[in-house]
Structure 1
Amino acid sequence: MKEKVAVLFGGNSFEREISIKSGKEVEKVLKKYGIETYLVDTKYSPVRKLRNMNFSKAFIMLHGKNGEDGIVQRALETLNIPYTGSGVFTSFISFNKINTKKFLKSIGLPVIPYLIFQKSKIKSLKYKLLSYIIRDFKFPVVVKPNCCGSSLGISVVNSLGSLKKAIKKAFLYDDNILLEKYLFGLEYSVSILDGEKLPSIRIETDQKFYNFHAKYFSNKTRYICPGGMNLNEENELRKLSMFVYKSAKCSNFARIDLIKDINDVFYILEINTIPGMTRKSLFPMSAKRVGIGFSKLVLKILKNC
């Protein structure tokens, strides 16, 4: 039977713009190879409308809430439509930073020290109260929304005065936010395709951290692939990434983002179950290093979902 694929993209999250770019790139490839393909913007067409439309598969290119958090995955399972990426449980765990930290701790991995702030419990941000709450943290610290990707709403803070502004900013993106210890070190990204690790990427930026601007707009961000580590470090990175991938029950394709601190300890920053798929995204960059071009990558993801 000829395949008929729905590329789910757009949506109503803060990452809509990136999702649209990823979705359109995937659509181009599928149509180029003669696959009947339809772009479905879930902001205007809920997944339930796919019922009785005879789609053989869904290629999920939704980023952010209602895309990476398990909601769309559950809806597709209800409709008996196979989909790319990981399942409901993995998506739910990975998109929620608090859940991710609890999960990582449960499997014996080190977790960057953090505090949780809930919007409903903070009536006013008084300096005295903030100073008391973060008494065990030293500046700089990182403030980030619990459920948001693409580094949106994240700030690196060096003073109590800036902290108040950063908390307000993060609350614009989510009602739960985290305050983390800032780690000095090198950032890496490991892409995994069908259970096989692709070459690691070391990320260097002139920003305070790998933020939204550094990811999508800066010409000064450098990507070193492979990541330039010695053999022992590369093996450690591979084992750690695969351990997380398998323990979280990731499938099809995923990306593990990490940081190696000044003591050479790796910490997991994020488990990304729907990596970006523009031609400048990290996953295609890593695949290209081993001879898997963008079109081949898209077709492999679709075939093996």
Structure 2
Amino acid sequence: MTMGTKGSTTATTAMPAQGHLAPRTFGRVGVLYGGRSSERDVSIRSGAAVLRALREAGVDAHEFDPAMHTLAELEAARFDRVFCILHGRYGEDGAIQGVLETLRVPYTGSGIRASAVAMDKPTTKEIWTAAGLPTPAWLQLARDDDVGAAFARCGAAEFAPGLVVKPAREGSSFGAGKVGAGDRPAFEAALREAWKYDAQALIEERIIGRELTCALLGEGADTTALPLVEICAPDANYDYQNKYFGDRTEYRCPAPLDPALAQRIQDLCVRAYRAIGARGWGRIDVMLRDEADGAKPYLLELNTAPGMTDHSLVPMAARAAGIDFPDLVLRILAGARLELGA
């Protein structure tokens, strides 16, 4: 069992987004979508939207589903670059990035290391904490660890509002659940659910407050934070159904925040994105809690291949910044590159 604590913040300034290339310069483009993860259905929807936008923009784009085709077929397709819109395991965890590096096919999004780190929530939180970035207190618990000792540790004051239990390496809220303080049966049930998806569970302090997300484009000093989105889900439950299929969740973009506070959160997210070494694009989820000294943001996780469906948050934030969906997709595709030996 491992545990972490909260950090503090300092600000940075987001830089302008990079330009993008003319569609005909991209060559033969593969859109990698679907895959074998629990997020396959969402990836198929995201991939269809990306493929349609690329083709309408004049890009020679072709779909490729790694669950339906072999890696030999991927090599034989002779793509000049790929738009990787695989969500979750095998697509967002460094696995497909390693394949593409081996095949020497430039790809969108983060490289092997940053993808693997961002997919592993405890590792992400360790890096953020070391960098002085605020994230909720947490424990990491393996299937064979002492559940009783973990439950006792969760009786500490920092876990008083309750807990969120989730798989350490999973997305789209699969296997995640909320647990009231002191409710051991619910705690054990939540762990069993999380362990269905991963051998490691993340037990996190539940932050009661406003739910925000920050989309980011670019890399390094050229990273740009897009306008924040506030998520107002039914009963504050932004689960898989409310994320992708329901119509009861309200989205406010730009989020109605004091401009100075919004800028502080955006700057914090740029620092967090850069601390992981992410590139291309991503999205960081944030909780904002009112405390004695004012509203304080807490970083939850980084998604390195966020959804691109009609419910997705990155396209929503891009629209608020004056970037339509085809332009967003072209900007991301323009950043495709290799990381090793480049």
TM-score under structure 2 length normalisation: 0.83
User: 2:278 — aligned with what?
Assistant: 250
**d(CA) in 2 for partners of 1:111 and 1:241?**
11
Q: Which amino acid aligns with 2:229?
A: I
State the shift of 1:217 in Å. 2.2
Report the equivalent of 2:177: 155
| 2:254 partner SS | coil
Counting matched residue pairs gives 301
8 A contact 2:253–2:320 mirrored in 1 = yes
Are the equivalent residues in 2 in contact too, given 1:8–1:60 (CA < 8 A)?
Answer: yes
Note the 1:89-108 alignment, pairs <5 A: 89-108=113-132
Task: Give the aligned CA root-mean-square deviation in angstroms.
Answer: 1.7
- Deviation, 1:243, is 1.0
| Alpha-carbon separation, structure 2, partners of 1:226 and 1:2 | 32
Separation in structure 1 between the aligned mates of residue 131 and residue 151 of structure 2, nearest angstrom? 32
2:68 aligned counterpart, secondary structure = coil
Q: State the Cα distance separating 1:18 from its structure 2 match.
A: 0.2
Distance in structure 1 (CA, Å) of the matches to 2:149 and 2:280: 45
Q: Give distance in 1, aligned partners of 2:209 and 2:26.
A: 49
- Report the CA distance between 1:25 and its aligned residue: 0.9
SS in 2 for 1:202: strand
Distance 1:120 1:12, change over 3 A: farther
- Structure 1 unaligned residues grouped into runs of 5+: none
Tell me how far 1:44 sits from its aligned partner: 2.3
For structure 2, the residue ranges without an aligned partner over 5 or more in a row are: 1-24, 337-342
Match of 1:241 among 263, 269, 272: 269
Structure with more relative contact order (C-alpha pairs < 8 Å, separation 6 or more): 2
Counterpart among 297, 308, 320 of residue 289 in structure 1: 320
1:102 to partner: Cα distance: 0.8
CA contact (8 A) 2:289 2:297 kept: yes
The amino acid that maps onto 1:135 is G
In structure 1, the residue matched to 2:162 is 140
- Alpha-carbon distance in structure 2 between the residues aligned to 1:37 and 1:218: 30
Q: Is residue 2:199 matched to residue 1:181?
A: no
Structure 2 CA distance for partners of 1:3 and 1:108, relative to 1, 3 Å: same
TM-fit CA distance, 1:54: 2.0
Instruction: Summarize the Cα distance change of 1:44–1:295 in structure 2 as closer, same or farther, 3 Å threshold.
Output: same
Q: Percent identity?
A: 34
Amino acid at match of 1:89: R
In the alignment, which residue of structure 2 is the partner of 1:27? 51
Q: TM-score, normalised by structure 1?
A: 0.93
Structure 1 residue 299: Cα displacement = 1.4
Q: Is the CA contact 1:26–1:298 (under 8 Å) kept in the aligned structure 2?
A: yes
1:218 alignment partner, SS class: coil
Aligned ranges 1:262-281 → 2 under 5 Å: 262-263=290-291, 264-281=295-312
Tell me which residue corresponds to 1:191.
215
> Are residue 56 (structure 1) and residue 80 (structure 2) matched?
yes
